Structures are given as C-alpha cells and as structure tokens.
Amino acid sequence: MAISAVRVENDWQLKAACRGPQAAVFFPPPVTERKDEKLERESRAKVICGQCSVNDECLDYALRIREQHGIWGGLNEAERRQRMLAG
C-alpha cells in the first residue's frame, strides 16, 4: 500500500482540536464582522488552540505555506506576519 507524502505530512490535522462544528470560529464569516465580533471570534479560536495537542505543528504549517487567512496555531494573520518578519 502506498502512502501519499501529503497525507503523512498533514497527519497532525486529524488530531487538531479545531476539527468539527467549532471550526467556523477560525475564519471570518462571509459577511463583514465588526471589530468587536472579530476579536471575540478570534479569542474563542485561540482558546481552542491553547488546548490543542498539535498547536506547534499547525503554526509551523501555516508559516511554511504562508497562510493568509484564519487562526492557525493560535495566531491570526497579522500575528503570523509579524512573527515571519521577526524570525
């Protein structure tokens, strides 16, 4: 049986705490959200990230592919950009 390199590389995603119905808080809604709504949504996502066993792998992945949207590894878009510039 052959195993795809992509499948093995992203195996951590199967263990991610963000899987399931709460996944919606990790990305902005299709309609414009107010700043306070965005901060609340991101805060809820970051709490989930803080309890996740694959948080580091998630952040590493997002930084490596330069993900531009959503909460990954406990950081939003601006926080990841800042980390990449500093790093």
Q: What is the pLDDT of residues 76-85, one digit of tens each?
A: 999 999 998 8
Compute the average pLDDT of residues 34-53: 97
Q: For residue 7, what pLDDT is reported?
A: 53
* Stated pTM of the model: 0.84
pLDDT exceeds cutoff 60 at 2: no
What pLDDT band is residue 4 in, cutting at 50, 70 and 90? very low
The rounded distance, in Å, linking the Cα atoms of 85 and 79 is: 10
Say if CB 47 and CB 11 are below 8 A apart: no
For residue 43 the two structure tokens come to 């805060």
Q: For residue 42, what pLDDT is reported?
A: 97
Alpha carbon 85 to chain centroid, angstroms: 18
> Please, what is the average pLDDT of the chain?
90
Least confident of 6-15, 50-59, 60-69, 75-84: 6-15
Extents of the domains making up the chain: 34-87
The rounded distance, in Å, linking the Cα atoms of 5 and 21 is: 28
Alpha carbon 61 to chain centroid, angstroms: 9
